[in-house]
Amino acid sequence: MKALITGINGQLGKALLATRPERCTCVALDRHALDLSDAEAIARVVDAEEPDLVLNAAAYTAVDRAESEPELAHAINAVAPGAFAKALAGSGKRLVHVSTDFVFDGASGRGYQPTDAKNPQSVYGASKATGEDAAGSEAIIVRTSWVYAAGGANFVRTMLRLMRERDELRVVTDQIGSPTWATGLAQTLWGLAAKDQPGIYHHRDAGVASWYDFAAAIAEEALVLGLIARAPLISPITTADYPTLAVRPSFSVLDVTATRTLLGDGHVHWRNNLKSMLIEEMTLG
């Protein structure tokens, strides 16, 4: 099998490459090798490489900046999936496209099902929602949330840096979701690709948390591992206390029952995966 992976310099792209099946040959592209805002370039790459599978792990993820760069966010997050779908149409090859919990408005009182109506509240969320539609019914679309990995640009590593620099942190406590380790997400993407059943799926780590809960856990685990010298005081604040340009869903827990049933695998709690990630982080120096 030959797989084309976009966003190879991102944390998910690296995880996909690290967890690839033994008999899989990967063509791994970064944004310099493939401009995802260029639909014609996408068509040329697919035509030249003839992949059996496209794993679109790249995205415009600057949630707040997207509010002032809607055209670029739309080109990368909405147009590119459609370009891949068009390039693969009629070939029998599959597109696996990664989406986000931001396609929902956060008003649910239960975990979001794959079939629930989308109602994004930000430019980023809207661009990803449109991208799902553009990917089409023949794609495998996987929504996820709060992704992090060792060495990546993410909440965990930001917290580690701030915990080394400050005695006190203020973290939002009224946004509820689920952290997701990129390694587990990558394994699920490969698993769903092997099943080859198009549709919309959800993946996250087991358990739920607020950003405050997540930060407190990072401090506890990092202190035990010696990644920080002391645990700072972490104070809970509300979203209103920390205004951002983009509206974020207050509740974005994804129901993953269908995904886990199809794959028949376990569901690791986010605290366990956080510890695994931090151990990896230690090896990076």
C-alpha–C-alpha distance, residues 179 and 156, integer Å: 10
CA angle 206, 175, 276 (to 5 degrees): 35
Residue 233: what pLDDT?
98
- Go through 264-273 and write b for each residue having 16 or more CB atoms within 10 A of its CB, e for each that does not: eeeeeebbeb
What ranges do the domains of the chain cover?
Answer: 2-152+179-206+253-264
Neighbours of 78 (CB within 10 A): 20
- Best CATH choice for the domain 2-152+179-206+253-264 from the list 3.65.10.10, 3.20.20.70, 3.40.50.720, 3.90.1150.10: 3.40.50.720
d(CA 39, CA 243): 35
Q: Which pair of structure tokens corresponds to residue 258?
A: 């269908």
Q: Residue 267: its pLDDT value, please? A: 85
- The verdict on pTM exceeding 0.75 is yes
Element (H, E) at 214: helix 211-225
Q: How far apart are CA 207 and CA 254, in angstroms?
A: 10
What are the backbone angles phi and psi of residue 236, rounded to the nearest 5°? Answer: -75, 135
What size, in residues, is the chain? 285
Given a contact cutoff of 8 angstroms between Cβ atoms, the answer to whether 46 and 84 are in contact is yes
How far is 183 from 186, CA to CA, in rounded Å?
5
**pLDDT (0 to 100) of residue 82:** 97
Q: What are the residue numbers of the active site?
A: 124
CA dihedral of 75, 7, 101, 53, whole degrees rounded to 10: 90
Query: Which H helix or E strand runs over 202?
Result: strand 199-202
**Regions in the chain scoring below 70 on pLDDT:** 285
pLDDT of residue 278: 98
Instruction: Please report the pLDDT score of residue 103 as a whole number.
Output: 98
Per-residue model confidence (pLDDT) at position 235: 98
